[in-house]
Structure 1
Amino acid sequence: MMKRKINIGIVAHVDAGKTSLTEQLLFHGGAVRAAGAVDLGTAQTDTLAVEQARGISVKTADAVLETEVAVVNLIDTPGHADFISEVERALSVLDCAVLVVSAVEGVQAQTEILCGAIQKLGLPCVVFVNKLDRAGSDFESALHDLQEQFSERTLLCVRRPENEGAPEAAAVPDTDCLENAVMLTGDEALLERYLAGETLDFPRTVCAAVENGAVPVLCGSSKTGAGCAALLDFLCACMPAASETDGEFCARVFRVEHDKTLGKLAHVRIFSGSLEPRQSVFLPRLGREEKVGGLRRPLGRKQADIQKAGAGEIAVLFGLSEVRAGDVLGRGTIPRAESSLAVPLLTVKAEPETPDKLMALVAALTALADEDPMLHFVWIREKQEIQLRIVGEIQLEILGELLLERYGLRAKFSAPSVIYKETPAKAGEGYDAYLMPKPCWAILRFQIEPLPRGSGLVYESKASPAQLLYRYQNHVETAVPEALEQGLHGWEVTDLKVTLTEGGYHHVHTHPLDFFVCTPLAIMDGLRNCGTTLLEPILHVKMTFDPALSGRVIGLIQNARGTLLEQTVRGGRQSITSEIPVAESLALPVAFAKLTSGRGTMATAFSHYAPCPPDFMAERERIGTNPLDRAKYILEKRNALSG
Structure 2
Amino acid sequence: MHLLNLGILAHVDAGKTSLTERLLHTVGVIDEIGSVDDGSTQTDSLALERQRGITIKSAVVSFTIGDDFTVNLIDTPGHPDFIAEVERALSVLDGAVLVISAVEGVQAQTRVLMRTLRRLRIPTLVFVNKIDRAGARYASLLRNIAERLTPAIVPMGEVRGPGTRDALFTRFTADRLRAARTDLLAEHDDALLAAYVEGRVSRALFHDALARQTGRALVHPVFFGSAMTGAGVEDLIAGIRELLPPAGGAADGPVSGTVFKVERGPAGEKSAYVRLFSGTLRTRDRVLLRDGQEAKVTAISVFDRGEAVPEPAVTAGRIGKLRGLGDIRVGDSVGVPRRTPSDAGHFSPPTLETVVVPSSPADRRALHLALTRLAEQDPLIGLRQDELRGQVSVSLYGEVQKEVLQATLADEFGVDVLFRETTPLCVERLVGSGTAVEFNGKDPNPFLATVGLRVDPAPPGAGVEFRLEVELGAMPYAFFKAVEDSVRETLAQGIHGWQVIDCTVTMTHCGYSPRQSHAHQGFDKSMSSTGADFRGVTPLVVMDALRAAGTRVHEPMDRFRLEVPSDTLGAVLPLLVREQAVPATTETRGTACVLEGSVPVARVHGLQQRLPGLTRGEGEWECAFDHYAPAAGGTVPERPRTDLNPLDRKEYLLNVTRRVGP
Alignment match, 1:289: 294
Alignment match, 2:399: 393
Please say which of residues 269-278 and 194-203 is displaced more in the overlay.
194-203
Does residue 200 (structure 1) correspond to residue 199 (structure 2)? The answer is: no
Alignment match, 2:309: 304
CA contact (8 A) 1:351 1:413 kept: yes
Q: How many residues align?
A: 636
> What is the CA deviation profile of residues 455-500 of structure 1, one whole-angstrom value per residue up to 9, with x for unaligned ones?
3323332223365555433333333221211111111111323223
CA contact (8 A) 1:540 1:605 kept: yes
3-state SS of paired residue (2:597): strand
Alignment match, 1:504: 511
The residue identity in structure 2 corresponding to 1:289 is: E
TM-score for both structures, normalised by structure 1 = 0.92
Cα distance in structure 2, aligned partners of 1:243 and 1:442: 51
> What is the CA deviation profile of residues 64-97 of structure 1, one whole-angstrom value per residue up to 9, with x for unaligned ones?
0111141001101001011000000000100001
Alignment match, 2:425: 419
> What is the CA deviation profile of residues 291-328 of structure 1, one whole-angstrom value per residue up to 9, with x for unaligned ones?
22212234698533222221111121223331222221
Does residue 616 (structure 1) correspond to residue 623 (structure 2)? The answer is: no
Alignment match, 2:286: 280
Alignment equivalent of 1:188, drawn from 184, 187, 190: 190
CA contact (8 A) 1:9 1:94 kept: yes
CA change 1:299–1:368 in 2 (3 A) is farther
Alignment match, 2:519: none
The residue identity in structure 2 corresponding to 1:523 is: V
> What is the CA deviation profile of residues 368-409 of structure 1, one whole-angstrom value per residue up to 9, with x for unaligned ones?
111111111233344332221111111111111111211222
Alignment match, 1:554: 573
Does residue 523 (structure 1) correspond to residue 542 (structure 2)? The answer is: yes
Cα distance in structure 2, aligned partners of 1:110 and 1:23: 22
Alignment equivalent of 1:29, drawn from 15, 27, 30: 27
Alignment equivalent of 1:443, drawn from 433, 450, 475: 450
Alignment equivalent of 1:228, drawn from 230, 233, 245: 233
Alignment of 1:98-497 (within 5 A): 98-148=97-147, 151-152=150-151, 154-174=152-172, 175-178=175-178, 180=181, 184=185, 186-192=188-194, 195-196=199-200, 198-200=202-204, 204-212=208-216, 213-246=218-251, 247-261=253-267, 263-284=269-290, 286-298=291-303, 302-333=307-338, 335=340, 336-435=342-441, 440-465=447-472, 467=474, 470-497=477-504
Please say which of residues 11-20 and 592-601 is displaced more in the overlay.
592-601
Please say which of residues 63-72 and 274-283 is displaced more in the overlay.
274-283
Alignment match, 1:594: 613
Alignment match, 2:53: 55
CA contact (8 A) 1:9 1:75 kept: yes
Q: 1:52 Cα shift?
A: 0.9
Alignment match, 2:96: 97
CA change 1:15–1:465 in 2 (3 A) is same
Alignment match, 2:583: 564
Q: 1:565 Cα shift?
A: 3.1
Please say which of residues 232-241 and 606-615 is displaced more in the overlay.
606-615
The residue identity in structure 2 corresponding to 1:516 is: R
Q: 1:505 Cα shift?
A: 3.1
The residue identity in structure 1 corresponding to 2:321 is: V
CA change 1:623–1:163 in 2 (3 A) is same
CA change 1:162–1:417 in 2 (3 A) is same
Cα distance in structure 2, aligned partners of 1:554 and 1:456: 36
The residue identity in structure 2 corresponding to 1:265 is: S
Does residue 629 (structure 1) correspond to residue 648 (structure 2)? The answer is: yes
The residue identity in structure 2 corresponding to 1:52 is: R
Cα distance in structure 1, aligned partners of 2:657 and 2:109: 47
Q: 1:170 Cα shift?
A: 2.0
3-state SS of paired residue (1:325): coil
CA contact (8 A) 1:88 1:338 kept: no
Cα distance in structure 2, aligned partners of 1:344 and 1:448: 26
Cα distance in structure 1, aligned partners of 2:451 and 2:305: 56
Q: 1:514 Cα shift?
A: 2.7
Please say which of residues 452-461 and 519-528 is displaced more in the overlay.
452-461
Q: 1:197 Cα shift?
A: 5.4
Q: 1:193 Cα shift?
A: 5.7
Cα distance in structure 2, aligned partners of 1:217 and 1:165: 18
Unaligned runs of 5+ in 1: none
Unaligned runs of 5+ in 2: 516-527
3-state SS of paired residue (2:507): strand
Does residue 532 (structure 1) correspond to residue 551 (structure 2)? The answer is: yes
Cα distance in structure 1, aligned partners of 2:441 and 2:157: 74
Cα distance in structure 2, aligned partners of 1:363 and 1:385: 13
CA contact (8 A) 2:543 2:647 kept: yes
The residue identity in structure 2 corresponding to 1:63 is: V
CA change 1:244–1:495 in 2 (3 A) is closer
3-state SS of paired residue (1:232): helix
CA contact (8 A) 1:91 1:339 kept: no
Cα distance in structure 2, aligned partners of 1:300 and 1:59: 20
3-state SS of paired residue (1:558): helix
Please say which of residues 572-581 and 535-544 is displaced more in the overlay.
572-581
> What is the CA deviation profile of residues 304-358 of structure 1, one whole-angstrom value per residue up to 9, with x for unaligned ones?
3222221111121223331222221112425442433142111112222212221
TM-score for both structures, normalised by structure 2 = 0.89
Q: How much is the aligned-residue C-alpha RMSD, in angstroms?
A: 2.7
Q: 1:573 Cα shift?
A: 4.8
The residue identity in structure 1 corresponding to 2:87 is: E
Cα distance in structure 2, aligned partners of 1:582 and 1:182: 43
> What is the CA deviation profile of residues 394-447 of structure 1, one whole-angstrom value per residue up to 9, with x for unaligned ones?
111111111121122211221212211111122222322253699843223333
3-state SS of paired residue (1:133): coil
Does residue 10 (structure 1) correspond to residue 8 (structure 2)? The answer is: yes
Cα distance in structure 1, aligned partners of 2:409 and 2:578: 37
The residue identity in structure 1 corresponding to 2:533 is: D
CA contact (8 A) 2:644 2:652 kept: yes
Cα distance in structure 2, aligned partners of 1:626 and 1:466: 32
3-state SS of paired residue (1:587): helix
Alignment equivalent of 1:42, drawn from 40, 43, 50: 40
Alignment match, 2:521: none
Cα distance in structure 1, aligned partners of 2:17 and 2:439: 59
Please say which of residues 68-77 and 452-461 is displaced more in the overlay.
452-461
CA contact (8 A) 2:302 2:318 kept: no
CA contact (8 A) 1:62 1:300 kept: no
Cα distance in structure 2, aligned partners of 1:306 and 1:535: 51
The residue identity in structure 2 corresponding to 1:34 is: E
Alignment equivalent of 1:513, drawn from 514, 527, 532: 532
Q: 1:201 Cα shift?
A: 6.1
